[in-house]
């Protein structure tokens, strides 16, 4: 079975999952973190080399401040809790997104987890927090100018090397849970030729078996990259 090198997931549906049970949205986010733990294991077992999870977008700041602060608190708690698992499995942690604008504690915890897993050689776990593709591409363009590149030196490679994903292969499989048919500013550049897999399953219910189903669907796709 052909295994994608890079799987990216738009983890959507935590609020709806909680709403169906008459619970607060934050309870849905908590259960969503359990799903993250399961998916880390299942992805590593499946032999995926890069897993990118969309946790908080540059647009999510529009949510009520109570939900935003709840999400940031959860994030800090779990960034700390993840370390033993990442150590055990040799998983390297990498942040995608802008640290600027995040609470200082979150910035610190992100840096600490990146540093303490930097020498791990297994799967890379990219967590997108305060991530927006348009911001990422705009910033890459700005960096090209700052580096003094001439117009003919502004190539696809030059831009890719200045994205937060520099050095990471393009996305092969892009999964979105909870049925929404949109990309919501996630990895627009990197997913240019990704296979899409949309499931009605809400994120807290997306576990190992659901990931394996997506991988099977991917293995049956015919990728063409514009050829015949
Ligand atoms: C995804 O779940 C998690 C984040 C965006 C933080 P949502 O919170 O978007 O859940 P729904 O879409 O309202 O169900
Ligand atoms: C996308 O989900 C962002 C994350 C999963 C972090 P949203 O719930 O924010 O997306 P929209 O608003 O439905 O497009
Ligand atoms: Mg949503």
Largest Cα span, the chain: 57
How confident is the model over 130-167, as pLDDT tens digits?
999 999 999 999 999 999 999 999 999 999 999 999 99
Q: Mean of the pLDDT values across residues 105-113?
A: 98
pTM of the model: 0.98
Task: Specify the CATH number for the domain of residue 59.
Answer: 3.40.1180.10
Q: What is the DSSP letter of 204?
A: G
Phi, psi angle pair for 78, to nearest 5° = -80, -30
Q: Does 201 reside within a domain? A: yes
The CB of 13 under 6 Å from ligand 1? The reply is yes
pLDDT above 90 covers what percent of the chain?
A: 100
The CB of 107 under 6 Å from ligand 1? The reply is no
Q: Which ligand is nearest to the CA of 18?
A: 1
pLDDT of residue 142: 98
Average model confidence (pLDDT) for the chain? 98
Handedness of CA 113, 55, 177, 171 (dihedral sign): negative
Q: What does DSSP say about strands 92-96 and 124-131: parallel, antiparallel, or unpaired? A: parallel
- 18 C-alpha to ligand 3 centroid (Å): 12
Q: Does 228 reside within a domain? A: no
* First-to-last C-alpha distance (Å) of the chain: 22
Q: Does 224 reside within a domain? A: no
Q: Which ligand is nearest to the CA of 186?
A: 2
Q: Does 1 reside within a domain? A: no
Q: What is the DSSP letter of 205?
A: G
Q: Does 226 reside within a domain? A: no
Q: Which residues pair with 195 in a beta bridge?
A: 173
Angle at alpha carbon of residue 203, lines to 57 and 116, rounded to 5°: 60
- 20 C-alpha to ligand 1 centroid (Å): 13
Q: Which residues pair with 216 in a beta bridge?
A: none
pLDDT of residue 33: 97
- What total of structural domains would you count in the chain? 1
Q: Which ligand is nearest to the CA of 67?
A: 1
pLDDT of residue 1: 83
The CB of 60 under 6 Å from ligand 1? The reply is yes
Residues with a known catalytic role: 12, 60
Token pair recorded at residue 90: 């040799």
Q: What does DSSP say about strands 173-176 and 6-10: parallel, antiparallel, or unpaired? A: parallel
The CB of 10 under 6 Å from ligand 1? The reply is no
Q: What is the DSSP letter of 37?
A: H
How confident is the model over 38-94, as pLDDT tens digits?
999 999 999 999 999 999 999 999 999 999 999 999 999 999 999 999 999 999 999
- 197 C-alpha to ligand 3 centroid (Å): 16
Site to substitute for ligand 2 among 8, 9, 10, most atoms within 8 A of C-beta: 10
The CB of 56 under 6 Å from ligand 2? The reply is yes
Q: What does DSSP say about strands 50-57 and 124-131: parallel, antiparallel, or unpaired? A: parallel
Task: Note down the domain range covering 179.
Answer: 6-219
């Amino acid at each position: 079975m052909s295994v994608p090198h890079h799987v990216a997931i738009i983890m959507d549906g935590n609020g709806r999952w909680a709403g169906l049970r008459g619970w607060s949205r934050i309870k849905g986010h908590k259960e969503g973190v359990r799903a993250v733990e399961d998916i880390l294991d299942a992805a590593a077992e499946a032999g995926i080399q890069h897993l990118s999870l969309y946790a908080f977008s540059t647009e999510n700041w529009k949510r009520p401040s109570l939900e935003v602060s709840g999400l940031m608190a959860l994030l800090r708690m779990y960034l700390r809790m993840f370390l033993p698992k990442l150590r055990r499995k040799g998983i390297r942690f990498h942040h995608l997104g802008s640290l600027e604008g995040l609470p200082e504690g979150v910035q610190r915890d992100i840096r600490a987890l990146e540093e303490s897993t930097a020498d791990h050689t297994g799967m890379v776990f990219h967590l997108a927090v305060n991530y927006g593709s348009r911001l990422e591409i705009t910033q890459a363009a700005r960096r090209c100018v700052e580096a003094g590149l001439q117009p003919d030196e502004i190539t696809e490679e030059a831009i890719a090397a200045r994205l937060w994903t520099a050095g990471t292969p393009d996305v092969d499989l892009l999964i979105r849970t909870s049925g929404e048919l949109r990309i919501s500013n996630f990895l627009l550049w990197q997913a240019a030729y990704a296979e899409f897999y949309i499931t009605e399953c809400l994120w807290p219910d997306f576990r190992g078996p659901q990931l394996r189903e997506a991988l099977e669907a991917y293995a049956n796709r015919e990728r063409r990259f514009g050829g015949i």
